[in-house]
Structure 1
Amino acid sequence: MTRIIADISVSLDGFVTGPDSGPDNGMGTGGETLHTWAFSDDPDDRRILREATVRSGAVVLGRRLFDVVDGPKGWDDTTGYGAGEVGKPPFVVVTSTPPKSVRLTGLDWTFVTTGLADAVAAARERAEAASSAGGKDLDVVLMGGGATVGSALEAGLVDVLSLHLAPVVLGAGTPLFTGGASPRTLVRRSVVATSTATHLIYDVSR
């Protein structure tokens, strides 16, 4: 069964980027420390990254995050999705205006202009098709940014919340939760602590 998984790294004080983030400073000041775990040699970090990304049948992201990863200082062959642990799943971008050009032409991009729910639905179709073709269950991963993940949770679109809690306090930046969300019941499924992050997985009650 295809699940919708929100997967994101977050600081101890709840930020998914540092301050002053933008296309030329994607993670903001100090924000790169949030993803130290993804490049760690710790066997638990590697296993968690591998297991999460190998089930990625399609990936959803917001336009702001797309502008970062497709920007001149964005992804390359060593820092793309899954940090080398997975192939190239299709990517679905939520945006009001599709870009005129794409730098990362080797990736499969779909731009959805009719809202987050439609983007998730499009990604689910892609993931289910890949599941059927490959004979194994694949998921839709919401990789961010923070507003996209928060909006998906608020809209009841998320089945699983996977947080990678980095041992850092950023003080400012892009918050994962803005305080306006409706209450949600989470059921903790696993906790794995490494030297670089505490990996938390919750089932989300709709």
Structure 2
Amino acid sequence: MTRIIADISVSIDGFVTGPDPGPENGLGDGGEALHTWAFSDDPEDRRVLREATARSGAVILGRRLFDVVDGPQGWNDETGYGAGEVGRPAFVVVTSEPPEPVRLSGLDWTFVTTGLPDAVAVARERAEAASSDSGRDLDVVLMGGGATVGSALDAGLVDVLTLHLSPVVLGAGTPLFTGGARRTLVQRSATTTSTATHLTYEVQ
């Protein structure tokens, strides 16, 4: 069964970037600390990253995040979604207008201009096709940014929420939660390392 999993790193005070994020400063001032765990040598951090990327049949991201990862300072062979961990899943971008051109032309990009629910539907189709091809269950991973994850939660589109709670207080930035729809979460796992607490919840 294909699940929709929102997976994002967040500070103790609830921010998914530091102040002043932008194409040249993707995670904002001090925001790099949110992803320290992803580059850690801790075996548990490596396991969390490996399992998260391995289950990805398709990945959804918003246009702002796409502009960051496809920008000059964005992803490369060493840094990117699951770099060095797994193959490359399909990427689905929610946007009002597809970009042209795309720097990361070696990745499988689909641009959906009709809203987040349609993007989720497209990503689910891609993940189900990948599941059929691979012979194992794969999921849709909603990687961000914060507004996209928050909107998906508000719209009831998320089955599982995975938070990588980083031990940093950013003070300002892009908040994950902005007072949207009330949701009940059921905690399914918690793994603590020196760089993060990895929390997994089912969304009711």
TM-score between the two structures when normalised by the length of structure 1: 0.98
In the alignment, what sits opposite 1:49? Answer: 49
Cα RMSD for the two superposed structures: 0.5
In the alignment, what sits opposite 1:164? Answer: 164
In the alignment, what sits opposite 1:197? Answer: 196
- Unmatched 5+ residue regions in structure 1? none
Sequence identity of aligned pairs in percent? 82
167-176 or 76-85, which deviates more: 76-85
Tell me the SS of whatever aligns to 1:163.
strand
How much has 1:44 moved relative to structure 2? Answer: 0.3
Tell me the SS of whatever aligns to 2:143.
strand
1:38-82 deviation line (CA, Å, top 9, x unaligned): 000000000010011100000000000000000000000111101
In the alignment, what sits opposite 2:119? Answer: 119
Tell me the SS of whatever aligns to 1:84.
coil
In the alignment, what sits opposite 2:91? Answer: 91
Runs of 4+ with >6 A deviation: none
AA paired with 2:56? Answer: S
- Unmatched 5+ residue regions in structure 2? none
Aligned equivalents of 1:194, 1:63: Cα separation in 2: 31
In the alignment, what sits opposite 1:177? Answer: 177
Aligned equivalents of 1:154, 1:98: Cα separation in 2: 25
How much has 1:182 moved relative to structure 2? Answer: 1.5
How much has 1:134 moved relative to structure 2? Answer: 0.7
Residues 16 and 175 in structure 1, CA contact (< 8 A), matched pair in contact too: yes
How much has 1:94 moved relative to structure 2? Answer: 0.1
TM-score between the two structures when normalised by the length of structure 2: 0.99
Residues 37 and 197 in structure 1, CA contact (< 8 A), matched pair in contact too: yes
In the alignment, what sits opposite 1:21? Answer: 21
